[in-house]
Amino acid sequence: MQRALTFDSMPGLMAPMRFFLAAPLFGMLAALVLLFSGPDAWLSRWSPAMLSVTHLFTLGILTMSMAGSLIQLLPVAFRIQIPFTNPLGLIVFVLLGIGTLTLAGAFLTLSNPLFMSAAILLGTGLAIFIFALNIGLWLSRKQQAEKAKASILAIRYSVASLVITVILGLILVYAFIHPLGLSLVALTNLHALWGLAGWVAILLMGISFQVIPLFQVTEIYPTGMTQRLLPILFVVLLLWTVFSEWFGLHSGLFQTILVFVLALLATVFTIQTGVLLKGRKRPAPEVTTLFWWLSLASLLGSCLLLPLLQLFSLPQLELSLGILFILGCAYSAINGMLYKIVPFLVMLHSQEIVPFHSGAAPKIKDILPETHAKRQFWVQLLTVPAMLAAAWQVPGFATLAALLLLASAGMLFFNLLGAVRIYGRLAKQFKKPVKSQ
Minimum Å gap between C-beta 214 and other proteins is: 6
CB nearer to other proteins: give 102 or 216: 216
Question: How far apart, in whole angstroms, are the C-alpha atoms of residue 329 and residue 42?
Answer: 20
* Contact residues for 327 (Cβ-Cβ < 8 A; gap 6+): 57, 298, 383, 384, 387, 405
Burial class (CB in 10 A: 0-12, 13-18, 19+), 223: exposed
Min CB(373)–other proteins separation in Å: 15
Decide: is 91 part of the binding site for other proteins (CB under 8 A).
no
- In Å, the largest CA–CA distance within the chain is 71
Between the alpha carbon of residue 250 and those of residues 37, 152, 275, 306, 327, the distances in Å are 38, 33, 38, 20, 32
**Is residue 81 involved in binding other proteins (CB under 8 A)?**
no
Binding residue (CB under 8 A) for other proteins from 1, 253, 363, 371: 363
Contact residues for 381 (Cβ-Cβ < 8 A; gap 6+): 294
Q: What is the 3-state secondary structure (H, E, C) of 68-87?
A: HHHHHHHHHHHCCCCCCHHH
CB 157, CB 198: distance < 8 Å: yes
Q: Is 431 in the site for other proteins (CB under 8 A)?
A: no
Residue 364 is a binding residue for other proteins (CB under 8 A): yes
Question: Judged by CB under 8 A, does residue 254 bind other proteins?
Answer: no
Query: Which residue number, 348 or 382, has a Cβ lying nearer to other proteins?
Result: 348
Within 171-200, which residues bind other proteins (CB under 8 A)? none
Minimum CB distance to other proteins, residue 110 (Å): 47
Residues 6 or more apart in contact with residue 199 via CB below 8 angstroms: 63, 66, 158, 159, 161, 162, 165
Q: CB under 8 A: which stretch of 13-21, 209-217, 243-251, 291-299 binds other proteins?
A: 209-217
Binding to other proteins by residue 246, rule CB under 8 A?
no
Cβ proximity to other proteins, 97 vs 336, nearer residue: 336
| 217 lies in the binding site for other proteins (CB under 8 A) | yes
Question: What one-character DSSP code corresponds to residue 330?
Answer: I
Please give the Cα distance from 300 to 324 (Å, whole number). Answer: 9
For residue 223, state whether it binds other proteins (rule: CB under 8 A): no
> How many other CB atoms are found less than 10 A from the CB of residue 75?
18
Query: Nearest distance from residue 221's CB to other proteins, in Å?
Result: 16
- Within residues 311-350, the interface with other proteins by CB under 8 A covers 343-344, 347-348
Please classify residue 83 by burial: count the beta carbons closer than 10 Å to its beta carbon, then call 0-12 exposed, 13-18 middle and 19+ buried.
exposed
The interface region with other proteins, picked from 36-44, 51-59, 185-193, 353-361 by CB under 8 A, is 353-361
Beta-carbon contacts of residue 3 (< 8 Å; ≥ 6 apart): 352, 353, 434
| Interactions with other proteins, residue window 5-64 (CB under 8 A) | 6, 10
Provide, rounded to whole angstroms, the least separation between the CB of residue 30 and other proteins: 31
- Min CB(417)–other proteins separation in Å: 20
Q: Is 135 in the site for other proteins (CB under 8 A)?
A: no
Q: Which of residues 274-313 bind other proteins (CB under 8 A)?
A: 281
Quick one: which of 112, 143, 183, 351 contacts other proteins (CB under 8 A)?
Answer: 351
End-to-end alpha-carbon separation of the chain, Å? 6
Based on CB atoms, which residue is closest to other proteins, 176 or 215?
215
Residues in contact with other proteins, counted by CB under 8 A, come to a total of: 23
Q: Does 94 bind other proteins (CB under 8 A)?
A: no
Residue 143 as a binder of other proteins (CB under 8 A): the answer is: no
Instruction: Report the interface residues with other proteins, using CB under 8 A.
Output: 2-3, 6, 10, 76-77, 79, 214-217, 281, 343-344, 347-348, 351-352, 356-357, 361, 363-364
